[in-house]
């Protein structure tokens, strides 16, 4: 199955920024690498997370996720060991890792990056509806209802999809035949309405109506009078 196009990536980032304003967080509120690692370990050890059977929790619980310092101030990225995830491949760890710059060392950023490692990105867009649905779940459980509601509201405001799209309705051959017949009637009615009639002779095929010249019928009637 081909991966969906990552069409809402920018909208996701913008919604997260409006919800949490992480770029402007003062340094006093930032976490150390050790605190970031402890937060990731806490989430992975959570019994609640273990019960989320649709996520790739088992593999991450076995290997662990290493948090390493990032080069950029606000940059964050993830690496799933095999190079199939977005971000960059780190050479200093043996398993999945999350790289965070100084400004990115915040709980929400860590949840965002962990979501990348948990969701089945091989089939879904990296920031598609499935990613956002999982992220909302993690935010609700680990950051609380207020943070969840704020992010969800910004997703809606920014037209970010976070629910599964409705499946396209499959029509039976009989239903298709009825639909084709209806469309044919609609087109015929539209054509009939679109053809104007001549005000002189009353026909819809009078060529003089389109040529904007006097209709012969009108001229004959005038001479008789």
Q: Does the predicted model carry a pTM greater than 0.85?
A: no
Asked if residue 3 belongs to a domain, the reply is: no
Asked if residue 2 belongs to a domain, the reply is: no
Three-class DSSP category at 17: helix
Tokens of 171: 């029509």
Q: What is the mean pLDDT of the chain?
A: 77
Sign of CA dihedral 20, 23, 26, 28: positive
State how far the Cα of 106 lies from the Cα of 33, in Å rounded to an integer: 10
Indicate whether 100 and 201 sit together in one domain. no
Q: pLDDT digit string (tens) for 79-123? A: 544 333 333 334 445 678 888 888 889 999 999 999 988 886 666
Indicate whether 113 and 212 sit together in one domain. no
Asked if residue 14 belongs to a domain, the reply is: yes
Asked if residue 108 belongs to a domain, the reply is: yes
Indicate whether 119 and 184 sit together in one domain. no
- Residue 67 φ then ψ, to 5°: -95, 125
End-of-domain residue from the set 157, 187, 203: 157
> What number of CA atoms fall less than 13 Å from residue 96's CA on the CB side?
25
Indicate whether 74 and 124 sit together in one domain. yes
User: Pick the residue with more confidence: 11 or 164?
Assistant: 11
64: left (phi over 0), alpha (psi -120 to 50) or beta: left
Indicate whether 153 and 185 sit together in one domain. no
Indicate whether 152 and 68 sit together in one domain. yes
E runs forming strands in 91-151: 97-100
- Domain of 115 in residue numbering reads as 9-157
Which residues, 6 or more positions from 61, have their beta carbon under 8 angstroms from its beta carbon?
Answer: 44, 45, 50
Given a contact cutoff of 8 angstroms between Cβ atoms, the answer to whether 151 and 16 are in contact is yes
Asked if residue 126 belongs to a domain, the reply is: yes
Nearest to 64 by CA among 87, 38, 41, 92: 41
How crowded is residue 1: how many other Cβ atoms within 10 Å of its Cβ? 6
Given a contact cutoff of 8 angstroms between Cβ atoms, the answer to whether 68 and 142 are in contact is no
202 pLDDT tier (thresholds 50, 70, 90): low
Mean pLDDT (whole number) for 192-216 = 52
Indicate whether 38 and 111 sit together in one domain. yes
């Amino acid at each position: 199955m081909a991966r969906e196009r990552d069409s809402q990536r920018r909208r996701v980032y913008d919604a997260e920024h409006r919800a949490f304003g992480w770029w402007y967080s003062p340094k006093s509120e930032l976490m150390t690498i050790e605190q970031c690692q402890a937060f990731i370990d806490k989430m992975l050890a959570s019994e609640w997370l273990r019960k989320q059977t649709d996520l790739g929790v088992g593999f991450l619980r076995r290997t662990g996720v290493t948090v390493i310092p990032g080069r950029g101030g606000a940059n964050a990225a993830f690496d799933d060991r095999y190079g199939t995830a977005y971000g960059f491949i780190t050479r200093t760890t043996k398993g999945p890792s999350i790289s965070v710059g100084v400004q990115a060392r915040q709980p929400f950023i860590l949840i965002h990056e962990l979501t990348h490692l948990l969701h089945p990105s091989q089939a879904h867009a990296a920031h598609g509806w499935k990613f956002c649905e999982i992220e909302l779940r993690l935010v609700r459980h680990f950051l609380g209802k207020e943070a969840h509601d704020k992010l969800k509201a910004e997703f809606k405001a920014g037209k970010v999809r976070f629910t599964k799209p409705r499946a396209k309705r499959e029509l039976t051959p009989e239903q298709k035949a009825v639909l084709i017949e209806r469309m044919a009637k609609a087109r015929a009615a539209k054509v009939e309405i679109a053809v104007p009639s001549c005000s002189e002779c009353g026909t819809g095929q009078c060529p003089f109506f389109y040529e904007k010249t006097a209709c012969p019928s009108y001229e004959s009637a005038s001479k008789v009078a």
